[in-house]
Structure 1
């Protein structure tokens, strides 16, 4: 399968890249500085904060699917990058006729207001007592600008007209790939407080060819 991976040097993006290469996919990797990546792949340098539309169109043209691990490396200082970068990716896909995209978001986003969802539910249906009353409130306070941007990003993806899937993991870890994790459509995972970047990437790659995952938000946790 021909895949284009954005933010391929980031935490989840590098896992997507390495696992896709290992699985034998034909990979185009897009990053600000992709020279640190090794493997049989096409490397494209692009800064999604000010992307050249022609470069992004070339990166996605002919791909079977696009995967995005885009997100700020420093959430408090780079809020806005995810929505801006995702908008550029979606435009490139619409220009070239590529339809399948899988993006990563975050577990608390289901309760974060956005222009497209001004009145979200107060609680995610998958959250237990702790997350409902303490955990999610703390997370939203700590990362409010980042989460607001992710909520806008999700709006853009939903409104794109493409065949999208949104992955919503909780706190990310660098634990190794196990391939064992829990998922749920349309809600978070009860008691799911962590997910390894490797397992999130594994699931994102797995859902590419699952018709049931199209136009779905999927919670995931180890």
Structure 2
């Protein structure tokens, strides 16, 4: 399969590149700093904070699918997920590429956005402590990050593409387990952590699963 991976030097993106190559896929990566790419792949330099449409279209043209690990690292970067994903969607539409898998975050189902001003108060997969203690604290601390990811999900819902959103909880750098849990449309009970390697594995796995199109997938170890 021919894949284009955005944010390919980030924690999840880098592992998605490694796993995709190990599986025999043909990989193109889109990064802001090509010097950080160590894998033997086609590299396209692009700043998704101020993307060039022609560059992005050339990056995705001919691909079977696109993976995106795009998201704000700091509060100052909030907005990059929404605006960058909007540019990715435009490039894919112009190039005739339909399949897109993107990373979001477990709390986003309860975060308001322009397209969902009144989301559910609680995720059906969250337990008591997540609903009433850990969740509110995390959303307060990462308010700008989550607002950006909520708007990004809205861009995907309105895109007309064959999208899948993966929503992990707190990320770790542990090795892949191959035994992560998933749930469609909700988080996982007692799902507090997941490794970045397992998230990358799920992103590649759902490419072969048409039933995940236009679905949100919760994941946890």
Identify whether the pair has TM-score above 0.5, normalized to the shorter chain: yes
Aligned 1:92-103 pairs, distance under 5 A: 92-103=91-102
Q: Distance in 2 between matches of 1:126 and 1:211?
A: 23
Equivalent runs, 1:84-163 vs 2, <5 Å: 84-163=83-162
Residue equivalent to 1:33: 33
Counterpart in the other structure of 1:73 = 73
Partner of 1:61: 61
Residue 191 (structure 2) pairs with residue 192 (structure 1): yes
Residue 71 of structure 1 deviates from its aligned partner by: 1.0
Question: RMSD of aligned C-alpha atoms?
Answer: 0.8
User: Is the Cα–Cα contact under 8 Å of residues 4 and 27 in structure 1 kept in the other structure?
Assistant: yes
Structural mapping, 1:193-208, within 5 Å: 193-208=192-207
Q: Which residue of 2 aligns with 1:20?
A: 20
TM-score (norm 2): 0.98
For residue 82 of structure 1, report the CA deviation from its aligned partner. 0.7
Cα offset, 1:49, TM superposition: 0.3
Distance in 1 separating the partners of 2:17 and 2:34: 11
The gaps in structure 2 that reach 5 residues or longer are none
In the other structure, the counterpart of 1:48 is 48
Q: Is the 8 A contact 1:165 1:213 kept in 2?
A: yes
Name the counterpart of 1:82: 81
Give the CA deviation at 1:77: 2.0
SS state of the match for residue 88, structure 2? helix
SS at match of 2:144: helix
Q: Are the counterparts in 2 of residues 79 and 149 from structure 1 also a CA contact under 8 Å?
A: yes
Q: Is the 8 A contact 1:113 1:148 kept in 2?
A: yes
Q: Which of structure 1's runs of 4+ aligned residues deviate more than 4 A?
A: none
- Residues 187-218 of structure 1, C-alpha deviations (whole Å, 9 max, x = no match): 00000001111000000000011011000000
How does the TM-score come out when normalised to structure 1? 0.98
Could you list the per-position Cα deviations for residues 107-160 of structure 1 after superposition, in whole angstroms to 9, with x for gaps in the alignment?
000000111111110000000011010111011100111101100000000100
SS of structure 1 residue aligned to 2:208: coil
Cα displacement (A) at 1:37: 2.0
Distance apart, 1:35 and its partner CA: 2.6
Secondary structure in structure 1 of the residue aligned to 2:77: coil
